[in-house]
Structure 1
Amino acid sequence: MKKGLFVNGAERQAGKNYPLYHPHTDEKLADIAESSKRDMDEAISSAEKAFKNMKALTSRERADILFQSATLLDKRKQEAADIISKEACKPMKSARNEVNRTVQTLRFSAEEAKRLNGEYLSLDAAEGGEGRDAFTIHEPLGVIGAITPFNFPLNLTTHKVGPAVAAGNTVVIKPAEQTPLSSLLLADIFTQAGLPAGAIAVIPGDGPALGEVMINDERVKKISFTGSPEVGRLIKSQAGLKRVTLELGSNAAMYVDQSCANELENIVDKAVAGAFMYNGQVCLSTQRIYVHEELFDLFKQSFVEKTKKVKFGDPSEEDTMVSSLITKKSQQRVLDWIDEAKKGGANVLTGGQSNRNGVLPTVLTNVDRREKISCNEVFGPVVLINKVNDANDAIDNINDSRFGLNAGLFSNNLQQAMKMAHQLEVGQVLINDVPTLRFDHMPYGGVKDSGYGREGVKYAIDEMTELKMISINYER
C-alpha cells in the first residue's frame, strides 16, 4: 500500500517514499510519502489561497462542517481504531477510546464555532468617550502549522485542526513520521464533510526539514506543536513574531495521604491504569507516586500485585494493556534508565525486562530524585513509588522537577488538598484523581518545561484568532 500527501483537497503520490512498520510485529504497513520542502511550500500556498473561502464561511457553516466530520468519523470508528492500533502500536481498547474522544473533540469544536463572541465596551467610561459604542470581534489568523506527535495521532491532531476550522483558519499538518495514516484519514473526512479544497493539508516526512519550512514561511501565522521540550525550545527561538503553542514533556506525579486508607484499593486501580495506559507513552502518564509513610507499605504491595496482572501482548488483542514501544531506540533508552536507577540504589519490585520491542510493566521504589527515571520523562511503562513524611514533603518532591503539566492528589482533608493545589507548580491539579486525566474541553497546558500556551478547544481557539475592536461615534 502506498500513501501520499494530501494537498488541495486530494491525496497524491510523492516522488520518494519511506517504509512504515508495525512497532510490535515489524510487519510493513505501507510506503509513505517522503514529502519535500517544495511539497510543504505548495501546501502552504494552497492553504493561503483557501483562507479567503474559510474566512467567508459563517460560524454556522463552519460548525456544520465540524458536526458532519464528527458524524463521518463515528461511522468509520473501527477503521480509525485499526489504523491507530497498527501505526502507533496502541492497544485496541485505547485506540477505540481515542477515536471516541476525537468525535467528541470535533463536536466541542463545532459548538465553540457558534460561540466565538466578543464583548461590548463602555467607551464613555473614559473622559472624552461620550457618544461612542464599541465592541470586539475575533478574526482568524490565517494558515496554522500543526506539528503533531505519534502517541495520540488522531485526537491530538484534531485538537489543532478542530479549533483552527472553528475559528475560520486553514491548517497544514506535519504528522509524526510513525503515524501519518491517522492524519490522512482526518483530512479525507474533513474534505468529505465540505471543508473547502486547500483548507487542510497533510505533509508526511522528515520533521526537521519540513518544520523548518513552516517556521520560516511568513504565510504561516501560528505554529502549534506537540513534542519534546528540546524541539519546542528550538521552535520558539526561531518563530519570530509567529504565535506559538507548545505542548511538551512531563513526569506527572501524584500523592496519596494518610486519610485515604479506606479507599486504597480503588486508588491503586486508578494509579495502575494511569501508569501503564498505552505503554506509559502519554504526556500525563503517572510516573512518580508519593505515598504517606502510614500507607506506603500497603499501597506498594497492592500496586505490585495489580501490576503483575497487567497483560503485555499484541495491541490488536482486546485485553492487552501494554505492548511494544514506538521504536527499538525508545525501548533501549527505558531499559538503560532502569539499570542506571538500580545502580543508584533503586529497587525493582516487578518488571524491568524487555519483551518483544517493549518493556514489561515496571515498578521501582527508593528512587533518588536525581535519577533520569525520576527527573526526566520516561515515556514508557515505568513508575516509581516513594515514601514521604507528610504533605509538605510531597509538595517538595513533586515540585522538584523541570516539568509542570498535571499533578494528582488523593486526600479526604479538603483544607490540605486545596492548600496543596495552590502550591503545586503545574498547569492542572486533579484532586482525588490520577494526573493521567484529560477531558477534551478543559484548558490544557503546562508550566516550566511542560509547555507554552493552552490547548482545549475553547482555549486553543482564543490563541488562533486576532482580537479586533470596532468603535462607533454616534454623536459626531
Structure 2
Amino acid sequence: MESRVVYMEAVNAKTLVGGSWRDGASTQEVLDPYRGNLVGHMHVSTDRDLHDALAAARKASKVMANMPGFERASMLRRIADNVTQRAGEIGAIMSLETGKAINDAVTEVKRSADTIRLCAEEAVRIEGEHVPMDSSAVGAGKIAMVMRFPVGVVAAITPFNAPVNLAAHKVGPALAAGNSVIVKPSPKAPLSAHKFVEAIIDAGVPEGAVGVLYGDAVAPGLVSDPRVDFVSFTGSIPVGKIIRDNVGMKRVALELGGVGATFVNHDADVSAAAIACARNGLLLAGQSCVSVQNVYVHRRIYDEFLDALVNEVKTIRFGDPQSGSTEVGTLIDSDAAIRVMGMVERAVDRGAELLCGGSRNGAQMEATVLTGVDASMDIVTDEIFGPAMSIHMFDDIEPIFEAISNSPYGLQAGIFTNSLDLALSAFRNIRTGGVIVNGTSRWRADQMPYGGVKDSGIGREGPKFAIREMTEERLFVLNG
C-alpha cells in the first residue's frame, strides 16, 4: 500500500537569537510546488536580528572554545539522536516544501544524523603536530608544536536541494571544532531547516551557540560582518563569487556548481554504467551540484549504452512527491522547471535530438535525454540543475579530459572502465575535486573530502576536512 503524507499544521520558521525564537517583521509563504498548498511561513529576519544573533554567537564562541572535546562529542550524539527520532516529521516537511520524493527526504534526514555522528567522532581527533626544530642551527634546543584552535563564529549559508544534510555538514563540524554557528537557510526550503535546528537546540547546546536567520536581505551583512570569522556556503557560482568579493580577509568554504561529467569507456560494464548514469542524472530531479549532466561514451558501445540508458530511464517513477511509490518529484518551483525547459528547447532548436522527455507540468519535468548536442550549447556548458542529461560520443578520451580541465568547472567526475591505466590518467589529467572510478560524478559518502576547484569552489566538506577548514593553526615555541 502506498504511503502518503497528510498535510499537517503550517510550520513557522522563526529567527533564533541567543536561544530565543523571534517573530519576523514580515513573513513569506512557503508553498508545496506540486499542489500549490500552503506548507508554512518563513519569518524574515531584520538587521536588528542579525546584530543580536552575531552578538550572541560571539559570546557563545568563548563557551564553545572552552568545552572539552568529549563534551562536544556527547552533545553532537544527542543532536544525532534527536534528528533520527524526528526523521519522519522533518522528512515530511522537506518533501512538502521542496517537492522531493518523500522516501528521499526521510533518507536525507537519517543521513544527516549519521553526518552529525561522524562529526562527534572527529571532535575528539583534532590534532596538531610536533615541529622538529633541531633541523637547523637556529632552532636547535627548542621545542615547537602546532595546535588547532576554533576560528570563532561560522556563518553557514545552505541551499534548498539538500536543506538538512548540507546544514548538518556545516553545523556539525562547526560545533565539533568548538565554534558557534549562524545558519542562513535558503528561502525556498526554510521549514525543514527550522525543524532540524529545533532538534539541535533541544539537545542542549549552549545559549547562542546556534542561531538562525531567514531571508536573503541579511545575507550581505552576515558574510561581511567582522564578527563572523568563517563563511561556509553551498549554492550557485554567481552567488559564491559575490560572497568571495565581500568577505574581506576572512576564510571561506564555497561548494558551488558543476556540469556532471561521467565517462563510459568501451571496456566498462555497459549495463551497470547505464543504470548508474540514468539514476544519478534524474533522481532528486537532477538538483544536485554533481548530478550526471554530460555522459561521454566510447563509439564502440554507444548504441548499446543508449538503449540500456533509455530502458532504465523509463523505469524511474516520476509523480506525487508525497507518494511512497514516487522516485522523483518536482523541481523546487515552476520557475526552475521553466529555466531547464528553456535550455532543452534551445538545444533542440540547434539540432539536438530528444531521446525522451522534453516537457513539463508546472514544477514537474519529464526525464529528458538528449543526443547530438554541440559543445557550445548552454545545456552542455552551464549547470542544468534539472532532470536532463546529454550523451556524447567519443573516439579519443584524452582531449575531453583536457577540455574539462580547461573549463571553468571542476567539482567531480566519474569514469566507468576496467583499465587501471585509464582510471589513473583521469585522476592525473582532469583538474577536478574528485574522480570516481566505476561510479558517476554524483557519488558521495559523507565522511570523504568533498569540494571543487576553479569556479566549482574553495575548500572541502566532510567532517574531518570541514573541521580542518573551521580551525586555525597556532605555533608554540619553547626556548630551552
Identify whether the pair has TM-score above 0.5, normalized to the shorter chain: yes
> Any idea what SS the aligned residue of 1:259 has?
coil
- In 1, Cα distance between equivalents of 2:309 and 2:403: 20
Q: Residue deviations 1:20-45, cap 9 Å, x none?
A: 10111111011210111211111111
**Paired amino acid for 1:335:** M
**8 Å contact from structure 1 (residues 65, 190) kept in 2:** no
Question: What is the match of residue 353 of structure 2?
Answer: 347
**Paired amino acid for 2:91:** A
**8 Å contact from structure 1 (residues 375, 402) kept in 2:** no
Question: What is the match of residue 444 of structure 2?
Answer: 438
Tell me which of 407, 423, 431 is aligned to 2:429.
423
- In 2, Cα distance between equivalents of 1:317 and 1:358: 14
- In 2, Cα distance between equivalents of 1:203 and 1:407: 34
- Where structure 2 has 5 or more consecutive residues not aligned to the other structure, the ranges are 1-9
**8 Å contact from structure 2 (residues 334, 362) kept in 1:** no
Residue 72 (str. 1) matches residue 86 (str. 2): no
**8 Å contact from structure 1 (residues 252, 404) kept in 2:** no
Q: Residue deviations 1:121-157, cap 9 Å, x none?
A: 2212221323321212111111111111000000001
> Any idea what SS the aligned residue of 2:148 has?
strand
- In 1, Cα distance between equivalents of 2:353 and 2:277: 19
- In 1, Cα distance between equivalents of 2:201 and 2:344: 46
Q: Residue deviations 1:314-336, cap 9 Å, x none?
A: 11112212222112111111111
Q: Residue deviations 1:29-68, cap 9 Å, x none?
A: 1121011121111111110111111111000111111111
Residue 60 (str. 1) matches residue 70 (str. 2): yes
Tell me which of 203, 217, 227 is aligned to 2:213.
203
Shift of 1:400: 5.6
Residue 133 (str. 1) matches residue 143 (str. 2): yes
TM-align CA RMSD: 1.3
Question: What is the match of residue 414 of structure 1?
Answer: 420
In the TM superposition, 1:63-462 aligns within 5 A as 63-205=73-215, 207=216, 209-260=217-268, 263-396=269-402, 398-399=404-405, 401-462=407-468
- In 2, Cα distance between equivalents of 1:390 and 1:192: 56
- In 2, Cα distance between equivalents of 1:450 and 1:305: 32
> Any idea what SS the aligned residue of 2:35 has?
coil
> Any idea what SS the aligned residue of 1:150 has?
coil
Shift of 1:120: 1.2
Q: Answer with 432-441 or 388-397: which moved more.
A: 388-397
- Where structure 1 has 5 or more consecutive residues not aligned to the other structure, the ranges are none
- In 2, Cα distance between equivalents of 1:371 and 1:270: 24
**8 Å contact from structure 2 (residues 295, 390) kept in 1:** yes
> Any idea what SS the aligned residue of 1:136 has?
strand
Shift of 1:11: 2.0
- In 1, Cα distance between equivalents of 2:195 and 2:71: 22
- In 2, Cα distance between equivalents of 1:410 and 1:331: 30
**Paired amino acid for 1:163:** P
- In 1, Cα distance between equivalents of 2:289 and 2:298: 25
- In 2, Cα distance between equivalents of 1:131 and 1:191: 49
**Paired amino acid for 1:54:** M
**Paired amino acid for 2:348:** K
Tell me which of 465, 472, 475 is aligned to 1:469.
475
> Any idea what SS the aligned residue of 1:220 has?
coil
Shift of 1:356: 3.4
**Paired amino acid for 1:185:** K
Q: Residue deviations 1:315-362, cap 9 Å, x none?
A: 111221222211211111111111100111100010000123221000
Question: What is the match of residue 7 of structure 2?
Answer: none
> Any idea what SS the aligned residue of 2:36 has?
coil
TM-score by length of 2: 0.95
**8 Å contact from structure 2 (residues 344, 379) kept in 1:** yes
**Paired amino acid for 1:247:** E
Percent identical among aligned pairs is 38
- In 2, Cα distance between equivalents of 1:93 and 1:300: 28
- In 1, Cα distance between equivalents of 2:223 and 2:403: 37
TM-score by length of 1: 0.96
Shift of 1:396: 4.4
Residue 19 (str. 1) matches residue 29 (str. 2): yes
- In 2, Cα distance between equivalents of 1:94 and 1:57: 35
**8 Å contact from structure 1 (residues 276, 321) kept in 2:** no
Shift of 1:377: 0.3
> Any idea what SS the aligned residue of 1:201 has?
strand
Residue 38 (str. 1) matches residue 48 (str. 2): yes
- In 2, Cα distance between equivalents of 1:38 and 1:166: 28
Q: Answer with 465-474 or 359-368: which moved more.
A: 465-474
Residue 48 (str. 1) matches residue 58 (str. 2): yes
- In 1, Cα distance between equivalents of 2:242 and 2:341: 28
> Any idea what SS the aligned residue of 2:267 has?
helix
Q: CA 1:58–1:373 in 2, change beyond 3 Å: closer, same or farther? A: same
**Paired amino acid for 2:112:** T
**8 Å contact from structure 1 (residues 322, 361) kept in 2:** no
**Paired amino acid for 1:93:** N
> Any idea what SS the aligned residue of 2:369 has?
strand
Q: May I ask how many residue pairs the two structures share in their alignment? A: 470
